[in-house]
Structure formats: C-alpha cells, structure tokens
Amino acid sequence: MNSLTEAQIRASFINASKRERTQALLPEDFAEIDWSAREFLGWRDRKLPQVGYVVCELDAEIVGIMLRQAEARARTRPQCAWCEDVTLPNDVAFYVAKRAGAAGRNGDTIGIRVCEDFECPVNVRRLPPIPYPGFDREAGRQQRITVLGEHVRAFVGEVLGCA
C-alpha cells in the first residue's frame, strides 16, 4: 500500500458524515506506519472504542469505510473473513458498516467478522504451519498476503455498492 496523508484518509471515507470524518482519530503510531507491509490501514478510534476504520486502494482510488463493532460476542472462536487465519493470536469481532450513498442513508448495512484490532496484515505475514511434507511456506505466505488484499477490496466494494 502506498503511504497516505491525514487529508487523504479523511477525504476517503465513503460511509461517514463530514462531522464523523473530522472527528475520527488516526492511529497513535500513524507517523511510524510501514506502508509496504500493509494491504490496508485499519484501526480503532481511541475515543470511540466501538468504531473502527479501514482504508484501502480500490481501482487506483483511496477508499475508506467506518465500521461499528456489534455488542454480541460469538459463542465459539470465529475465523477472520479477511486473513482466514486459523491460529489467530487475537480476537475476532463482528463489525457492521453502513453502505455508501442513499442505501446507507436509508439504513442499509453490511456485516463481517474480522480481527478485532485489524491485525490481518501482521497475521498473514507469519509463516504458515506446514500442512504436508514439501509445502512451500514462503509461497503460502505470499498467497495469504494476496488473498487478504482481495478480501478487503471485495468488502469495501460491497460497502461502496460496486460488488
């Protein structure tokens, strides 16, 4: 992912009001982000812990979405829909995003289970376990990185209404 400025991020949100864009708190470590090790930028708002943000590149455009974490917890350990990691070192949460445009203003939403603090870029970069003799772990890691980007872009596209 290419590096982004605060202005680019704030302008990218497709399902947030102008006030929500202005009041969104960027990650505390924003200045130190390693953009080359990310398929998307995701973080939780420090002042509003139920709110999360995801920004990615979609068709050469920067697109951001605002999500809200649902209150209910799963009874079993769910799998993240983006990184699909079965050995997660973190929790998975159910997030809901308003759709962009008129659909979102009319209350249309879409939900997804993802890593609670959007740790997916870190998770997919860990070497996967060896499922069978001769498995190429590095190729497996690269495949996971590629698939993560595809999953995030597909979800953001659904929020945008183009999927």
pLDDT at 157: 94
pLDDT, mean of residues 133-161: 94
Residue in 139, 137, 163, 151 with CA at minimum distance from that of residue 84 = 151
* Dihedral angle of Cα 74, 80, 82, 85, to the nearest 10 degrees: -170
* Greater model confidence, 9 or 71: 9
Domain boundaries, given as residue ranges, for the chain:
6-160
What gap in Å lies between CA 119 and CA 54, rounded to an integer?
A: 11
Computed on alpha carbons and rounded to an integer, the radius of gyration of the chain in Å comes to 16
Question: Taking 80 as the threshold, does the pLDDT of residue 162 lie above it?
Answer: no
Query: pLDDT of 84-112, one tens digit each?
Result: 877 777 789 999 999 998 888 888 899 99
